[in-house]
Structures are given as C-alpha cells and as structure tokens.
Structure 1
Amino acid sequence: MRFLRFSAILISMIAAGPLRAAEPASLVLKNANVITLDEKRPAASAVAVRGETIVYVGDDAGAQAFLGPKTEVLDLAGKTVIPGFNDVHVHALPGGLFYLEPNLWGKSCEEIVAVVAEEVKKARPGEIITANSWDYPTCPNPHRKLLDPVSRQNPVVLTQFSGHACWVNSAMLKKLGYTAKTQDPEGGKIDRDPEGTPTGILRDKAAFPAQARALLLVKKEKREAALEEALRLFRENGITSVQDNTWDPRTLALLRQLQKEGRLTCRFTCWSYAGYSIGPQLMKLGRYDDPWIRPGPWKLYADGAFSTRTGWMTEAYAGEPDNFGLPMMTPARLAAFYLKAAKQKKQIAMHAIGDRAAHEVLNAVEKSAARYPQARQLRHRIEHAQIMLPEDIPRLARLGVVAAIQPFAASQPQKDLDILGPERARIAYPYRSLQDAGVPIALGSDLPAEVDFQPLLNIYYAVTRKNKAGDQGPLNPRECLTVEQALRAYTLGSAYAEFMEDKKGSIEVGKLADFAVLSADPLSVEPAAIKDVQVEITIVGGQVVSRQQ
C-alpha cells in the first residue's frame, strides 16, 4: 500500500511539471521554434544544455527547472533552432586554401593567365604557383603554351573546378617528368598535342602527383591559416561536424593542436586515403579525441568526374562517341579492396560518379558480402552517386550502402545537358529515387570541388534542382527532395554515415549540444527562399562559436 501511495504521489508530481534539475544547465535556449528531427518529439520551444550534452527538450516552463545563477540564457524571440549541419564530404585543408588563393571560377583563359602573372610577381623563383576552379565553359582551350611566357621560373598548378584535372605549365611538367614518351598512368590521362607532347592538362591519376606536390609543400603556417579559414566558414554557416578527406597526419596533428588551444569549433571525422598502402598506416599513427576528432573510413576512387568527362559511364558522353570515361580501378581491384575491408571490418567511402562506376562498386560490395556477411553492417558509402542505372538503386538498400550526395553538383542544369545529353541528364542525381528505395542518404558539399558549400544553398538545390538564379531547370522534378528530407539527410543522415546517430543529428536528451539558429524556418518558407535563410548563431558542444550581426 505504501508503494502504491508513493507511486501516486510521484505520478502527480510528474504530471504537474518537470522535476527540478539536480544541477543547473550551463546554457538554455528559450522562446524558440525548435525543429528537433526527433520523431517522438518533433517540436519544442526550449532546450537546456549541461556541458556538451542536451539535458532537456520541451517547453519554456519546463526549462525553468534548469536555470541557475551561472546559466547562460538565449531568448531567441521565435527564431528557428535545428541540429547543427554535418557535412558528409569535405576537403577542409584544400577548402581553406581555396579561399586564401586566387579563385579562377568564371574567368577566361586570358584572364587566368593575367592572374598567374600577378602571382608570379609575388613569388620566389621556383615556388609553385597554385590557384583553383577554372572550368571549360569559360576557358575552353587551356594549354601550357599560354602559361609558359608568364611563368618560366615557377611551376604552375591550376586545379580544375571538379578537382579531377589540373592545368600546368612546362616547368611543372618537367618536375613531374612528363614527356611525349610518358605513358598514361592507370586511371589517369595526360592530354597531348597531335605530335604527342603533353598540353599541360592532366586528368585524374595523372593530375594527382602535381596536386599532391603542391599540397605537400604548403608550409605549416599556411596550413594552419587554411584550417582556421575553413573553421571560420564552417561556424559561420552552422556546420558543426564535417567528414573530412584528411589523408595527411600533419593535418590531423594541427587539428589536435587547435583543439588543445580551444580553437577547434567543428567536429572532424578524419579519413585516410587507401589508394596508397601507407596512407591508412600513417593516419593510424595520429592521435584522436572522440567526439571532436575521430578516425573515419578509407577513401578510394572508382572514376573521375562529369566536367572532365572521366566519370565512368555505361554510355558515351554527348558528342564523344568513343569516350565512356575513365575507370580508376579494374573490377578485380575493386573487389579486392572490399574483401580486405570486410575482413578488417573497415568502412569504405568510394568516389563513384558514373553509372558504370557505381555498378562495379556494388558488384564488389556484393562479392564481399557473400564471403563476409558482416559487410552489410559496415555502411559502405558511394560518394556523389551522380547517375545510376535504375536497377542498381535498390541494390544500395539491400547491401546497406549509404549514398553520400552533394546537390551542389546539380546546380548547373544546362552544363549537365551539354555533357550528358538530354535523356541521361534527366535521370542524373536520382535523389528522390534513392530516398524512396530506402537507401540511407547523407548530404554534403565536397568543398572545394564545388564553388559553393553553404548548407542552406545546398538544400535549395536538392529541393528545386534549379540553378542559383532559378532560371534553369528543374531537370526531372520527380527527383526533388522535400525540405524535411534534405534537412534530415544533412543532420541525422550524415550522422548515420559516420556511425554517430546516437550522438548527433537530432535534438534529443543525451545527444551532443550542436545547434544552428536560423533567421527563418526552412520548412515554412517558399523553396526559392531557402537559400536566403541566414545562420545567425552556431553552437558546438554547448558553446556559442559564431554569432552573426
């Protein structure tokens, strides 16, 4: 009877309101429109945080129990709070360098040469000149002969928009040892004049040595400045976690240094590049600190990109009847990597742009799962998945493969029509088909391979499939995601891709206190206006790391 009486009293207390917190919160958000993405409690007006952890989600009245003399209280006056964005695919160090170096986007070949000439004036003889994001629509005929007159004493490496090609001068070709007699590497191509001399355009694995040399020679001070620039961009845009193509243990060491100094304002999952056997071994030597800096999957490449016409396709590119793209690995080598990963219980993040590339990747996953059934639990990822055979889409779901997509790639509908032709362009970027088939999808930017990286702009592209101005597209509106689907993929979906859905991706008690405060509710505004919604406050680990005026 006493037990029953005590139970009745306890139930009446709970019904009357929340129990007073044993310990006050360090931060309380109130008077907010909280989109939790928690199916059990999809909306709230208040959140309480203790340290790095959410301790309360509910109404403003319930949050009163968590107030103390040192609690920071943010009255958000009805502003919208969402889980912090988790960018599923970035290159943070090159991304920071992208914003510190000349941006060649939209420039003609002549304008690019003028930029290089100015950079040479500021450089020491022999110093490598780097710049980013030239592309063929505005510079259709890049050639080493254009660069040579202004850069005879300085090697030049200009990375193409996709990151899968570069334009170099004769000095850089000499450093690489590329001559008319040099054979194309497996998975790469050296463009040549009719007489066989390299033109200065290097594609995929032929470009990697030039890009790697330029990156490896970046001094520590510039690497630190680049990472700090990337962190600034992340926090100002509500990005609280990134899944990063780190590859280099020196970058990992810099992240640890920034963390110790209290300057790391974003969580990192750090990938290794498994194309070289030493890559994963080097990253194993690094020191991690979960949940701020965590080890991630092996990164590999199955093919190239659309804009360089090296994505591996089942049908030829428009206007190039003999060009089906460029596989970076044979099917046998793909199968060997997935068998090795299954044996070691290691996740693979496989770059696959073309439909043939994705098909061969799925064949390899299937073979590994037949021998090692646990392979289906590894959450292997196809990065980009820009075009797929329709029959392959349900295979992703059956094999437990995550589609890590970047809607920024779909931001130029006319360009896709020119490269792929009208029929295939209309089935490219099959986002809704993936969603409807039950494939786990996660959103990201591929910074700096795409010129933009802002999450709300990315959601706009996923939802509208138009260009930024809104006057091109949509290509196949049936593949548009809803705003809620895109937002969920950018948060919970990305957390799932890195095995962190129990810690990140929704606003729930017990999860990490990572939030973005927005100027408007993206679920309520018109789709065309999503890109204009501003991130006003970013909170990581319960700390305000960015506050926009």
Structure 2
Amino acid sequence: MKKKIALGVAGALALIVIVLMLLPGPSRKGLPEQAYIFHNANVITVDAKNPRAEAVAVAGGKIVFVGSSKDALALALPGAKKIDLKGKTVIPGFNDNHAHTLAAGNFYLQPLLWGKTCEEIAAVVKAEAAKKKPGELVLGNSWDYDKCPKPDKALLDAAAPDNPVFLMQYSGHAAWANSKKLKDLGIDRNTPDPKGGQIVRNEKGEPTGVLRDEAMGSSAYGDFLKALLSDERHRAIIDKALQLYRENGITSVQDNTWEPFTNRLLYRYDFAGTLTTRFDCWAQGDSVLHTLFNWFAKFDDPWVTRGPVKYFSDGAFSTRTGWLTAPYADEPGNYGSPRYTPEELTKIIMDAAATKTRLAFHAIGDRAITEVLNAIEKAQEKYPWTKDLRMRIEHVQIMKPADIERMKRLGVVACVQPFAACNPEKDVKLLGQARARTAYPYKSMLAAGVPVAIGSDAPAEVDFQPLLNIYYAVTRKTKDGAVGPLNAAECLTPEEALYCYTMGSAYAQFMENEKGSLTKGKLADLVVLSKDLTRVAPNEIKGIEVLATVTGGRIVYDKGALQ
C-alpha cells in the first residue's frame, strides 16, 4: 500500500513537471503609474532617523518623500493624487516572516474544527461525509487537544463509515484519521513508527488514528497535489490567500512554497499585474521537491524572490514532538521527536555553509535549538562566512538562556510567531509552571541583540492577522485577556513588535535596504490603520482596523479610507 501511495505521489509530481515544461512564459503587462500623496496623517515610519511624519508620497512603486504635509503638498509630482487621511495612522506594510500560503488558502476552504469537542468534530465529519460519494476523502483542519483530548478512530469510523477521513491538527504536525484512511496509508498495529514520526497507540497497541509528523506520510501532500493539478482550484486557493493578506495589511510573505507550481503561478500573477503581496519563496530540504524547485522555480525581484531552504529539526509542542532537554510535564519520558541526529544536522549545515546556501530551521524545543546552534557553530569555525548567511531558526518557542547569547554571536535570526503564546494554560500543562515561564523569550532575545522577526505560521496557528499577533506579543494573554501573562518581563512594547514585523522581517530576508520602513527610496508598501497601535491600551491593539493597503505604490485594498 505504501508503495502505491509513493508511486501515486511520484506520478503526480511527474505530471506537474510536464505541465511546467509546457507552460508558455508570461509577458509583463504595463500598469498605470499613478503617483499618490498621502497627507494629514499620523505616520509611524519605523525609521530611527525620522520616526514620525505627516505625509508620504509615492511614485513609480517607490517612496519619494516622507515629511510634513506642507512640504508634501508643495512637491512637483505631476498627476499625483492627493489623499487627505484626516489623521489616520500610516505604517510600513507587514512582512509575515513565515507562512504556508497554499495551505492557508486551502485552510479557509475546508471545515474549521478549532474549538470543537471530539463529539462536535464527529458531527461535522458526518455532515461532510453526507455530501460525498462513498470512498471520497473527508478533510478538515485545526482540531486540538484542549477541546478534544482523546481523539480516536472509532469516533470517525461511526461518523463516516464509507469514507476515508483525514483531519489536520492545528499545528500541522499531527492528523487524526479513521480506519479507512489508516488502511489506505498501510498502517496497522504492526507498522513501526517512522523516523521523525509517531503512530499513537492505545494500551492494546492498536493505532488510535492519531499520526504525528512523519507518520502522516504522503497523505498530507495528497490534497495539495490535487490542487496543483487543477488550475481552477489552484487559483482559487491562491486568490483566497491574497485576499486575506491584502485585507490585513500584509504586503510581503516569506513563504513555505516548497514546490515550483505555486511559485510559477505567483510569477505569472506578478507579470499579469495581479499579484498584491510580495513573496519570498522557500524550497524544502531533504525532499524530491527541492530538486524540482531548483529546476523550475522562477523569480522576479522584488515581487517573487528566492528564499532559504527549509528543514525541520523537531515537531511541535501541542503534539509533544518538539524536542526538549527535559520531558513533557504531562508525558513523563517523552522528550519529543528529533528529525535528525546531531551528526546529520551538522552535515546538512556544513554542506549549506560550504555552498553559501541560506537555511531556515524549524526548531520548537530547547534541545532542537541547541543542536542546530551546535551545528552552525561548527560550520562557522570551518567557513567564517557562515555568519553572513543569516541562518534562521523558525519558531524558537523555548531555549536555554546560554543559547540566546550564542544566537547573537553566530548571527542567527530568530523568526518567531507570537500566536504560539496565546494559550498560557496549555503551556503550563505541557511544560510545567516554572518552565512555561521561560517560553517565548522575545524580550530577552531583543535585549541580547539577537535579530528578531515576527510572522504568523499561517495556517498552523489558526489566526494570522498581524494586529492580533502584535497584541499577543505585547500582552502574552489569551485572546479575551482573561489569562496571562506567565512572564510579563518577556512582553514586547508595541514599537518593538512593529519593528520586528517590518524591519526585523526585512532583515531576515536580506531586504532591510529595500523595505521595512517608510524611507525615501524604499518600496512603496504601506498600510493605513484606524488607530495608532502605540497610543492605545494594549488590549485595544487587536481591534484596530486595517483601512487600506498599498503595495508597490498600488492601492490593493481600500475600506473607504482613500476615497
């Protein structure tokens, strides 16, 4: 059965390659070069040399002026449209440091299981199965253990006896399947755990239906492959993601693209003039997709750029697969699941350093972070230029204090997602009270001089909205504000969080001289907000509205503020 699945995936990938080879090259369509003067505004520039202003002028896709309204209106800018913002706040466009765009678009086209009990999830599955023919796959996403602590295949078997069911857990590092789907995957009580994965079993040794990390096999990619082979569906998914990005002020995304088909679609959108968010497209290391990406991906700086190569060193907190130095508080003896041995990590990073290849390492737990830093340190000893590559560690959810200083010394960028800190009670359950207080050390890293960038990990954390994300970075409380913070000393100020979301993320992708602040000569990417996030109470930040988004000097979203 596993061979059939592997052959099916390989066949689909081969078909994608053929399609890519046959696609005609795009021809760029000229866009009207409308100039704008946004004046009478409260401009937060995120530029230390000129932190506040009243006006911003843009032309030809670049910022041509930042300063007073009087001087802006006196500019000799032929044909410029003057827009009075009536005191509204303007900031640089948000640059999401870590997203999965294809998954995010697909996410909002599937049943959302977040916050539902096991029984409620079964009811959703039953309703979805009723819409499908026998044998058709039922999909869903974002269930979690808080509300559904004991997911079991028996519940899904009863809800959908004639259909395979595959439900992604919210972190993306686990799935819940029914018996039909387990059979499709070739998994039974005799199937060993794969390297870097776990088949969760009951006390009798029977699979419960929960699969963690590599145990999910190729099934997690199956739905995406179908999307890639359907141009209509592929475009619908990307269009949905682009809509959400521009409505929330996201002008740049550093994307776990991994396969060349989505990259090529974004490239075609760029040349057609319909791409409304800039993309830094990443390859996935240790995968056949990496080779395909290198062969067929296309780029057009500064709209579609080549990003780092992504590797996983461990799993996630919620699935208890993040690699820890001490065991999980609620699962004694479980230290998580490393994807590679320390020796394998060293080889991967040594090989990358030798060829001056940038890497982004997913590392949740403190042991994973330590081992990645150990490997980077060894590479830097042999290849001194490794520091200049700005190697990245993604997520950085808990780490040893000594490793913070090492990150600074090695020039490693911490790419964090404050959405992960939205549930303090869960962190206490997983890590224990004392250890949970040390998680998400954002302030400590900034204070030590570690470069910090902020993003969402959409759709892994369910929410993705930048202003809600900043609320979590500033308060470290639950969304309703009822619980937290566990450690107020690690809360960022609104100014720090905004910097990390703009200049910090630009630095992470080597583009701090092109974007990240409202500075003359930089790309004209900006957002209009209903309020100043630095001058409201922290609990109000999440309620601030995005009124307009401008990317490359084009108004790509307007809620009426620019009329």
- TM tier, smaller: over 0.9
Describe the superposition over 1:312-359 as per-residue Cα deviations: whole angstroms up to 9, x where unpaired. 001111132211111111111111110111011111111100000000
- Match status 1:183 vs 2:183: no
Contact conserved, 1:34 with 1:44, CA < 8 A, in 2? yes
1:457 to 465, 468, 486: 468
The match for 1:469 is: 480
Equivalent position SS for 1:235: helix
Equivalent position SS for 1:96: helix
Amino acid at match of 1:90: A
Structural RMSD (CA): 1.4
Structure of greater Rg:
1
1:80 to 89, 109, 115: 89
Query: 1:510 deviation in Å?
Result: 0.9
2:357 to 346, 353, 357: 346
The match for 1:134 is: 143
Equivalent position SS for 2:210: strand
The match for 1:20 is: none
Amino acid at match of 1:216: L
Query: 1:249 deviation in Å?
Result: 1.1
Q: Which runs of 5+ in 2 are unaligned?
A: 1-32
1:153–1:256 distance in 2 versus 1, CA, 3 Å: farther
The match for 1:42 is: 51
- Match status 1:336 vs 2:347: yes
Amino acid at match of 2:483: Q
- Match status 1:395 vs 2:406: yes
Sequence identity (%): 54
The match for 1:33 is: 42
1:257–1:155 distance in 2 versus 1, CA, 3 Å: farther
Equivalent position SS for 2:65: strand
- Match status 1:237 vs 2:257: no
Amino acid at match of 2:70: A
TM-score by length of 1: 0.93
Mapped to 2, the partners of 1:35 and 1:323 lie a distance apart of: 46
Describe the superposition over 1:118-157 as per-residue Cα deviations: whole angstroms up to 9, x where unpaired. 2122223333221110011111111111112333332211
1:165–1:290 distance in 2 versus 1, CA, 3 Å: same
Contact conserved, 2:185 with 2:217, CA < 8 A, in 1? no
Contact conserved, 1:273 with 1:280, CA < 8 A, in 2? no
- Match status 1:90 vs 2:90: no
Contact conserved, 2:259 with 2:289, CA < 8 A, in 1? no
1:202 to 205, 211, 215: 211
1:136–1:284 distance in 2 versus 1, CA, 3 Å: same
1:529 to 540, 544, 560: 540
TM-score by length of 2: 0.91
Describe the superposition over 1:59-103 as per-residue Cα deviations: whole angstroms up to 9, x where unpaired. 122213435552122110111110000000001111111111100
Contact conserved, 1:25 with 1:67, CA < 8 A, in 2? no
Query: 1:193 deviation in Å?
Result: 2.8
The match for 2:287 is: 276
Contact conserved, 2:45 with 2:51, CA < 8 A, in 1? yes
Contact conserved, 1:25 with 1:66, CA < 8 A, in 2? no
Amino acid at match of 1:368: A
The match for 2:431 is: 420
Describe the superposition over 1:7-32 as per-residue Cα deviations: whole angstroms up to 9, x where unpaired. xxxxxxxxxxxxxxxxx971111111
Amino acid at match of 2:443: R
2:522 to 495, 508, 511: 511
1:118–1:301 distance in 2 versus 1, CA, 3 Å: same
1:287 to 298, 308, 315: 298
Contact conserved, 1:248 with 1:283, CA < 8 A, in 2? no
Query: 1:257 deviation in Å?
Result: 2.7
Describe the superposition over 1:191-223 as per-residue Cα deviations: whole angstroms up to 9, x where unpaired. 123333322100011124221123222333222
Q: Which moved more, 1:148-157 or 1:368-377?
A: 148-157
Contact conserved, 1:25 with 1:68, CA < 8 A, in 2? no
Contact conserved, 1:104 with 1:132, CA < 8 A, in 2? yes
Aligned residues: 526
Query: 1:450 deviation in Å?
Result: 0.5
Mapped to 1, the partners of 2:177 and 2:516 lie a distance apart of: 42
Stretches of 4+ moved more than 4 A in 1?
A: none
- Match status 1:225 vs 2:236: yes
Aligned residue runs from structure 1 range 98-113, under 5 A: 98-113=107-122
1:383 to 383, 391, 394: 394
Amino acid at match of 1:386: Q
Describe the superposition over 1:478-499 as per-residue Cα deviations: whole angstroms up to 9, x where unpaired. 1111111110000000000001
Mapped to 1, the partners of 2:44 and 2:213 lie a distance apart of: 41
